[in-house]
Amino acid sequence: MLVSNDYGNTLKSELLAGPVNVSLSAPTVIAEDACSFASITHQQTFTPGSCPSSYTLVNTWTATDQCGNATTKSQTITVSDTTAPTLTVPANITLQCTDPIAI
């Protein structure tokens, strides 16, 4: 699966912001058979990861021709959060002992 860098960054920021519904467009799947028409079925399996923004999707397609011959292929999409959060803190300051400390 290919995702543009801009879309990937947008998707990542939305996932990090909290629970979201994600919709991925289906890739083009083509079945060819020299002798007869082939029908395609699709199944998707979701497996949660070690944290809410990490998971695995497995797309499985099966093409079956009119004689019952079948071929199955799968695609695995792994989503993982391996980037630590950024942290911004106030700058260091020097105070006199009589100055109030503001946090």
Contacts of 57 by beta carbon, 8 Å cutoff, 6+ apart: 44, 45, 46, 47, 76, 77, 79
Residue 5 has pLDDT above 70, yes or no: no
Taking the C-alpha atoms of residue 79 and residue 62, their distance in angstroms, rounded to an integer, is 24
Q: What is the pLDDT of residues 45-93, one digit of tens each?
A: 999 999 888 899 999 999 999 999 999 999 999 998 888 999 999 899 8
Q: What is the pLDDT of residues 86-102, one digit of tens each?
A: 999 989 988 898 888 87
The answer to whether residues 26 and 37 touch, using CB atoms and an 8 Å cutoff, is no
Contacts of 78 by beta carbon, 8 Å cutoff, 6+ apart: 56
Q: What is the pLDDT of residues 9-42, one digit of tens each?
A: 776 677 677 666 656 666 688 888 888 888 999 9
pLDDT at 25: 63
Instruction: Specify the CATH number of the domain 5-79.
Output: 2.60.40
Question: pTM of the predicted model, to two decimals?
Answer: 0.59
